[in-house]
Structure formats: C-alpha cells, structure tokens
Amino acid sequence: MRVRIKDIAERAGVSTGTVDRVIHNRGNVAPRVKEHVEKVMIEMGYKRNIIASTLAYNKVHRIAALIFEQNDPYWHQLYQGIERAQEATQHYGVTIDAFFGDQSDPEIFAQLAREILDSRPDGVLVAPLFLKQGIDFIQQCHKRSIPVAIINTQVPKSKALCYIGQDSYQSGVIAARLLNFGMKRKATVLLLNLDPGPANAQHLVDKERGFRSYFTTIEGKCINVISENFEHFNDRKALNQRFLEILEEHPDLTGVFVTNSRAYKLLDAVEQKYFENLVIVGFDLVSPNIHNLKSNKINFLINQNPSLQGYLGVINLVNHLILRQEVSPIQYLPLDIVVRENCDYYTRSSVSFPSVVF
Amino acid sequence: MRVRIKDIAERAGVSTGTVDRVIHNRGNVAPRVKEHVEKVMIEMGYKRNIIASTLAYNKVHRIAALIFEQNDPYWHQLYQGIERAQEATQHYGVTIDAFFGDQSDPEIFAQLAREILDSRPDGVLVAPLFLKQGIDFIQQCHKRSIPVAIINTQVPKSKALCYIGQDSYQSGVIAARLLNFGMKRKATVLLLNLDPGPANAQHLVDKERGFRSYFTTIEGKCINVISENFEHFNDRKALNQRFLEILEEHPDLTGVFVTNSRAYKLLDAVEQKYFENLVIVGFDLVSPNIHNLKSNKINFLINQNPSLQGYLGVINLVNHLILRQEVSPIQYLPLDIVVRENCDYYTRSSVSFPSVVF
DNA sequence: TTGTCGAATGTGTGCGCACACAAAATGAAA
DNA sequence: TTTCATTTTGTGTGCGCACACATTCGACAA
C-alpha cells in the first residue's frame, strides 16, 4: 500500500494538517517540526497521490492555444492533436480555448495575444510564427507568470516552459541527404520557400542553412544549391511560369526541396512531365502530399508530426501545472523519413497518442 | 461544470444509488426507472469522472509481463518502456510484475506462463516469441478472462485484446526499398537471419516475404535475393567464415538485410574492408548498431521502437481495465527509417512517452 | 387486516487529499 | 498573574464515486 499523509502524520506524531502544511510550504510550522516531518516523508518514501489530489483541488485549469487557420491541412492536424489532449486531460479539470490566427497577418496574431492575456489563462500554447510578435507575447506571459509551451517554431533564448517541435537545421540536413541519394556527381538542387518569406520566419532560414551545409560536407560531388522564395503560392499560373524559368536556367536540376507542407502546390501548378527526372522532398503528411507520395510524384516527405506537437504541448503544460513535474525545455521530435512504403503507419492516429496521463 | 451522478439523480427524481446501479448494471432497478435514468444521462451528457472513480475503487490492478532477457539491448529497451508505463500508471493502482524468458528456450517461456496464470493477474503483456507456446498462453488467459496485450510478434487470429508492434511484412518491404536505393541493374542481396531460426518465429518469415516481394515488383532491375539462417551468431569465427564464403559465391553482392537487431554482430565478426561496397540494413537503435550507423558502416536502421511497444502495451491494458475504453486490436507502429542524420532524435526518450494518461 | 419476502430504492461511509476553520500553545505586554 | 495577539497545531468537510447496508415498497398469502 502506498504511503499516505495520514501515515506520515502518525509516524511523525503530528496531525495531517501539519503534514499538509509542510508538503505545500504553507508556513506556520515550527522549524523543528517541519524538519522532522520532512525527514519522515523521505524515510517512508511519500509520494503525492495525484488522483486524490486532483479530486480535492477541484480546480479548472484554463489553457489558451494560439495557432493558425483550420482550413490549412497542416494546422488542422495540429489542432486535432490539441483536441486529443483536451480529451485526455479533461478529467484533471483542463479546458482549452483555441485562437486561430492568420499566417499572413502578424497583426491579427498580436491582437489574439492581447485577448489571451486579458483572459488570464493558467497556461499558454503558442506557435510563434512571427518572431517579433511571438517573442513579445511570450515575454508578456512570463511577466504574468503564465507558463508557455512553444510549438512549431523555436524561439531562441525565450523564457518559455518548453519548445516542442523539430530541429529545423537538421531537417534541412536530412532533406539534403535524401536528395543526395540518387544524385550524380554534378547537379543543381533547388530550395523552394512557398511562403510569405523567411523575413520573419526563422525556421526557414535554419532549414536552408542545414540544407546547404550538408552539400558542403559530402566528398566527390559538386552540387549547386539555388534557393527561391515564392510568396503567392496559390497563383498557379505564376508559380508554373517561374518554375519553368528556373528549369530553363538550370537544365541540370535534379532535386527540389520544398521547405514546408506545400510541395503539392508546386505539383499542382506545373505539368507532370517536368518532374520526371526530379527528386522532390517536402514536409508533412497532409493529404494532397500523401496523394503525390503514393503516385510517386513526391519521393520523400519529412513528417513534422503537427498533431503530436499540439498534443505534447498541452500535455507538457499539464505536467507542469497539475502534476508539477519537471519539463525538459527542448523536446525535439524525430525527423521521420516518409516514403510510399511506410506512409500509412504514420497517418494512423490510433497509436501515437497514448490514452493515458502520467 | 461537469455533470455528476448527483445531478443525474436530481433530474431523474431518484437517488444516487439508483443511478449508480444503472451505470454499473447492477440490476434491481425497475425497468421503467432504468430507462428514464438512461435517458437523462444521455440528455445531460454524463461522463464518468475517472479521477473520482479510480479513487473510490481503491483497487490494485496487477499486470504480468512475459518478456525476455534484460541483458539483450533490444529487450532491455522494451523493459524500460514497461517501467516508464509503470510510473505513469501507478496512481491508478497498477503494479507490474515482469517475467524474463530465454530467447532460445521455449520451455522456460511455457514455465513462466504457468507461473503467471497461477498468480491470477488482472492483465497480461506478452511477447509471444514462440508461436506454439505463445498461442497456448494466450488461449489460457482468454479462458480465464484475462485480457492480453501482445507486443513484438503478431499472432494471427488470437483472442488477445490487442497487438502492438510492426507490420513485419511491410518492414521487409521497406528494407528492400532501402537496399534498392543505390543499386545497379543487376545485383545480389542477402537476407540474413542471425537467430535460432524462423521455424518457430513467424515474423522472420513475414519479413522475408515482404523483402522478396518488393524486388519482384520493381521494373528494369534483376535482383537476386538469397537468404541465410545463421543460428550461432555469437561464434564470430564461424560467422566470419560463412560470410566470406557467401561473398565468394556472389561477387555481385551489394546489400545485406539483417532481419533483427543483431546487424552489429556481423560487422564485429567480419573485417571492415569487405563491407566497403555493401549497403547494410538492420533493425533497432541498440547502441552497437547506433555506433556502426554513425561511423557509416550500417546505412539504415529500421526502428522497431521496443520501448514504445512496452509502454503502449501497458497503457492499452490500463485503458481497457481501468478506463474501460475501446482498444483497437491492431496497432502497427511506424516503420521509422533511421540514418546517421536523424538517429539522435529517436534515441532521446524524453519525448516519446507523454507523462499523461487518458 | 396483518405478515412475509423479495424487489426496488435510499443513505452513509470511505478512498486520499486540500483547505477552511477551530483549538491550543506560546510569548509578550499589562 | 492575567490578557491578548500571534504562532502553531488539530479537526472537519467536501471533491465524485463505489459499494455496503438500511429502508421502503409492492405483491401475495394467511
């Protein structure tokens, strides 16, 4: 049988109230008594019964999540992870409010951040897509002693509780390694940002650094890395035109690395025949990408596991807030290499989320 | 606020005792009353408060785990996962007894199985390495209404609660795909079982089937697949000799697929120079393998994630026993492709096991 | 009508803990 | 010494549920 407060109290010759005060550091305990009780607790190996504790607290913990539009498949997956965590933690009195920003509008992000701060949540989960506004928000939370779990985009030197996501630099390295597999001695590879641009998005910069660095280390090959930012990724005509220009400029192009989940946009915009000799590496198991992976148009996808990011973000907040556990500040998720043959096992959600807390 | 039994009772005009009887199907409730209470429960969206329920049950759930020697790195990792699950679920009154078998002795397995049955556990976790003895054990548990979670080795048509592990067939396919990357038009590949043999181990058979099937589907290549069982994998001299024989026989050998976690045994036994033009694919992130991966001697490892198997096995039993959740009968873990560049992210255990149940 | 027996229903207690409140001890001032 | 404020310690209640036990009801026979 586990040791209870009552057992400690008996052995120490005090009441349960006193033991309670010692455990919670409520003060008003004679120093000598406190010391003694602490000794007995260690001796008997007391561990708080989280079940009973949670029940007695009878408190609601509100977590606010600042993420992005649900109609983007990537963010939708992330939100699903959060919902799963919500289910898993509801018994502990956790409620989650999600706020959905706009990927192309930092101002909306800042506005939502203000709303969240006004609502005084117990914990915050944030994807700080915009570096400046993100840092500011995290700072404000820190000032109010609200723990913050960061996902998706790592913010250096932040005062957050933890970061959960990938090592962007290394994901660039992996992408390079994958492109390198079938590559000739001399070739050109394209790094393509289908994104508003790396100006305010550090992870794109990191990916490029990792990508380029890999090609400088390999021996016996001479790879020319070119990079391109293409902001209006929904304009298929323009994207098609630009890509054909690049192809013409670089007839030895053998690989394309799309730095986010939008590889499918490229494949949608440009005629199939141009890809026949190209290796394509992209990110994320969103359905249009999976479709292209299965029909051999995309060769590799790197899984960022957004749903796990959302799930673990919440779980870590709960671990901190309720279970009062140590939370490790940087939790890099694996860089899953996904090909046609192992794709299905990553998309089944039944496994990745254990239905159990602690 | 969540709906409580008390709320249901009030609204239905009965006592909490009656509601309790309805919830637990204890009988002795007038049919009309039962129906009414059920209706009110649905109306108000009642959900059992697992925290309070667990506390009130005040029951110890004993889980027995039948696994294998701890001094093998693979099984050691699996045991670590079980220990982690033990920590995570101790608050729910779960205790775990581990029984360690011998990989080369089915009789010990059977003996331990008997011991476990005698101890009348509430749930069983088993790695049925030996098909016959495994099926028998699962059968016996079923007869005694003890739920069984199977890990590591899938047992077809078993009456177990669930299987958690890899799809062996598909892992063979992936291995073939990985060997195929750098492969010439015409070549020989070796499938090597460093194991007592596939006689009683279905997963080895499945892996070979998957492996061979891949090479029959690819076009434009002519790959010769040879397979070899080598039981005395600890006899370095013999292993070296046999491997050199194979090399001599097949000068066009370009790839080796070691079907379990013992790829490092081959590299230990044979001189390095013979591997220079060989692609090696193995299983599992055990430290001698990782070492060889980092020094580029092993090219790919497929991660079977034994620790996650152990962890999820326990978690699923808990989900079934305590949380009374539906458990999906087949839970294939991803076939992680591990190379030098993403290896580290798989070996960090901080992430894969969320510290939270439900 | 009363008594009986089984079914139906209600009540009370404890699980281990958090916290409010009551009680006792201490110590300083009168 | 008494008084009173302050610190220290003890007690009781509730969190939501499971379950044992107490009570009431209803049908039927005597």
The dihedral through the CA atoms of A284, A289, A293, A294 has a sign that is: positive
DSSP bridge partners of A193: A229
Residue B295: strand, helix, or coil: coil
**Chain A partners within 8 Å of B123 (Cβ):** none
Instruction: Tell whether pTM > 0.85.
Output: yes
> According to the model, what pLDDT value does residue A353 have?
52
Residue that wins the pLDDT comparison between B1 and A353: B1
Residue A218 beta carbon within 7 A of nucleic strand C: no
Residue B244: strand, helix, or coil: helix
Would you identify the CATH topology of the domain A61-166+306-333? Rossmann fold (3.40.50)
Percentage, residues of chain A above pLDDT 70: 96
Lowest mean pLDDT, pick from A88-102, A295-309, B1-15, B213-227: B213-227
- Mean pLDDT (whole number) for B328-345: 93
Per-residue model confidence as pLDDT tens digits over B299-319? 999 999 999 999 999 999 998
Please provide the size of chain B in residues. Answer: 358
Q: State the architecture of B168-303 in CATH terms.
A: 3-Layer(aba) Sandwich (3.40)
CB contact under 8 A, A332 and B342: no
Distance of C1' in C15 from CA in B78, Å: 34
3-state per-residue secondary structure call for B19-64:
HHHHHCCCCCCCHHHHHHHHHHHHHHCCCCCHHHHHHHHCCCEEEE
- Mean pLDDT (whole number) for B312-339: 91
Residue B101: strand, helix, or coil: strand
Per-residue model confidence as pLDDT tens digits over A166-224? 999 999 999 999 998 877 778 899 999 998 766 777 889 999 999 999 998 887 777 88
Percentage, residues of chain A above pLDDT 90: 71
Indicate if the pLDDT at residue B351 is higher than 50: no
Q: How confident is the model at residue B294 (pLDDT cuts 50, 70, 90)?
A: very high
CATH classification for the domain delimited by B5-48, as one of 3.90.1410.10, 1.10.10.10, 2.120.10.30, 1.10.260.40? 1.10.260.40
Give me the total of CB pairs closer than 8 Å, taking one residue from chain A and one from chain B: 143
Query: Token pair for residue A142?
Result: 């820190």
Lowest mean pLDDT, pick from A68-82, A255-269, A285-299, B195-209: B195-209
CB contact under 8 A, A335 and B342: yes
Residue B69: strand, helix, or coil: coil
Per-residue model confidence as pLDDT tens digits over B8-65? 999 999 999 999 999 999 988 888 999 999 999 999 999 999 999 999 998 999 999 9
Give the DSSP letter of residue B75.
H
Percentage, residues of chain B above pLDDT 90: 71
Indicate if the pLDDT at residue A352 is higher than 50: no
> According to the model, what pLDDT value does residue B300 have?
95
CB contact under 8 A, B315 and A341: no
DSSP bridge partners of B192: B228, B258
Distance of C1' in D15 from CA in B320, Å: 25
Q: How confident is the model at residue A276 (pLDDT cuts 50, 70, 90)?
A: confident
Give the residue among A275, A269, A130 at the shortest CA–CA distance from A204: A130
What mean pLDDT is reported for chain A? 90
CB contact under 8 A, B319 and A355: yes
In angstroms, the separation between the Cα of residue A234 and the nearest Cα of chain B is: 32
**Chain A partners within 8 Å of B210 (Cβ):** none
CB contact under 8 A, A336 and B331: no
In angstroms, the separation between the Cα of residue B90 and the nearest Cα of chain A is: 9
Q: Give nearest nucleotide to A59 (CA–C1').
A: D15
Indicate if the pLDDT at residue B200 is higher than 90: no
Q: How confident is the model at residue A349 (pLDDT cuts 50, 70, 90)?
A: low
Q: Give nearest nucleotide to B19 (CA–C1').
A: C9
- CATH 1.10.260.40 in chain B, residue ranges: 5-48
**Chain A partners within 8 Å of B312 (Cβ):** 351, 354
In angstroms, the separation between the Cα of residue B327 and the nearest Cα of chain A is: 9
- CATH 3.40.50.2300 in chain B, residue ranges: 61-166+306-333, 168-303
What mean pLDDT is reported for chain B? 90
Q: Which of B51, B339, B354 is nearest residue A177 as measured by Cβ atoms?
A: B339
